[in-house]
Chain A
């Protein structure tokens, strides 16, 4: 027979239908003989009823919704191109100064989102190198990880646009950045580093998929992606001193190649913050 307290702990997942039949049975048994818990279950169900009966919205026309939204979206490319044209006329010195100002302001202007086939791309590269130069060492790793992700975003977009040569160039640049960041990654918090590498690996996979789905299946892209994945593998290889294994081995740190079935028995609720509330 379940205790009063245990039953109460399980009433909410019970009422939400989250328990398997063998988990429900002991609770059913307790509820049959305990008026207080049965009354509490009624309250839980009444609250659930209130939560699930919050009504959905009446139909809304899409066109006016979109037009209003569109009016507030930033028009990144069209606004910024004339500015760049003016810089070109004024010469390289002004371009450098303007880029420095851009970098210093960290504004979300045109260049940061430019792709390799965009005439603004050199400005973006210049701006990035300035950011690397002015960023203190504590901020270097996050910045490099950001730039690595940026190269993959470009590579993916270029692969989609049937521009395999530009995609491969971005992928090579990615490899250089990751190699550059490898020492810092090895000394970073293993769990965070593992998450970062997992994300980069997923992005590399996305580039590879873009390459395949656009029917190019470019061999050069494949080769560079493979080399980049090898680079990530090298970083993940433990060195002579292995960090505390509990930090590495875990569902968060080790990517699972296939989805795992829901573990049995049901995960227990963790001790709640207001454990002593009642």
Chain B
């Protein structure tokens, strides 16, 4: 395997303390936990939904779910992976509930670097929207797995640990998910490829 598993920082005693205190109702401890992880959850939601206000709402839901479920959290897997799983479930649910967006303007933040061509930006946003929509419509086991890769930016190993499944199963699910995505996005993926080639010609 080209990327060996890196041991997770499970020995983070301070985080354990925050989790345990939050689970017993200590709101200040929970505030510190949210402070640590709100960026991560908002990023996952924004990548999935492409709209900041919606992403913030979903992130709020994620932390409400986490707060409720903390008493059942066990320290046998890293908190971050558990959180990723809760977040991925919430964002894919939100993505499926969301009706396909017709309007193309002003929904998403432009890329941070350079001054992009407005046409390129619009085309890229269309593609991103199509990708999100295609992910939302995958069968659940494919959707949950690829959401952790595409929205959570987790590695194969981290996905295996978050979902508590073998690495081989992660590979097989990502294989299946990407095959379906390519079939469903086929023209978009190819036309984008052609555009790149046309632009560089």
Contacts and interface: CB of A to CB of B under 8 A. Distances in A.
Given A160-B21, A273-B176, A73 B167 contact: no
Contacts of B182: 43-44, 47
Given A55-B108, A72-B60, A77 B176 contact: no
Interface string B146-179: 1001110100110000000011110111111011
B108 A12 contact: no
A271 B172 contact: yes
Contact of B139 (A44, A76, A273): A273
Contacts of B176: 272-274
A186 to B, nearest CB: 22
A66 B35 contact: yes
Nearest to B151: A54
Main secondary structure on B side of the interface with A: helix
Contacts of A277: 179-180
A18 B47 contact: no
B189 interface: yes
Interface in A135-159: 149, 153, 156-157
B38 A18 contact: no
A91 B165 CA distance: 52
A43 B193 contact: yes
Contact of A20 (B2, B150, B153): B2
A203 B146 CA distance: 31
A50 interface: yes
A1 interface: no
A51 B131 contact: yes
B38 A153 contact: no
Q: Please indicate which of the listed interface residues B2, B39, B131, B180 has the most CB atoms of chain A within 10 Å of its own CB.
A: B2
A19 interface: yes
A278 interface: yes
Interface in B78-98: none
A65 B40 CA distance: 13
A240 interface: no
B174 A70 contact: no
Contacts of B149: 51
A72 B180 CA distance: 39
B54 to A, nearest CB: 11
B189 A262 contact: no
Contacts, number: 189
Given A51-B131, A198-B76, A57 B150 contact: no
Contact of B189 (A43, A108, A210): A43
Contact of A268 (B16, B48, B127, B168): B168
Given A54-B47, A153-B23, A198-B76, A12 B60 contact: no
A252 to B, nearest CB: 9
A47 B141 CA distance: 19
Contacts of B48: 54
Q: Which 4 A-B pairs have the closest CB atoms?
A: A57-B46, A267-B168, A269-B172, A54-B47
Interface of B: 1-5, 7, 13, 16-17, 20-21, 23-25, 27, 30-31, 34-35, 38-39, 42-43, 45-48, 50, 52, 55-56, 59-60, 63-64, 67-68, 71-72, 74-76, 108-109, 111-112, 124, 127-128, 131-132, 139, 141, 146, 149-151, 153, 156-157, 166-169, 171-176, 178-182, 185-186, 189-190, 192-193
15 contacts: A16-B156, A18-B156, A46-B192, A57-B42, A57-B109, A58-B109, A66-B31, A70-B31, A73-B27, A153-B23, A259-B5, A269-B175, A271-B172, A274-B176, A274-B179
Interface of A: 9, 12-13, 16-21, 42-44, 46-47, 50-58, 60, 62, 65-66, 68-70, 72-74, 76-77, 108, 113, 115, 149, 153, 156-157, 160, 198-199, 202-203, 206, 209-210, 213, 251, 259, 261-262, 264, 266-274, 277-278
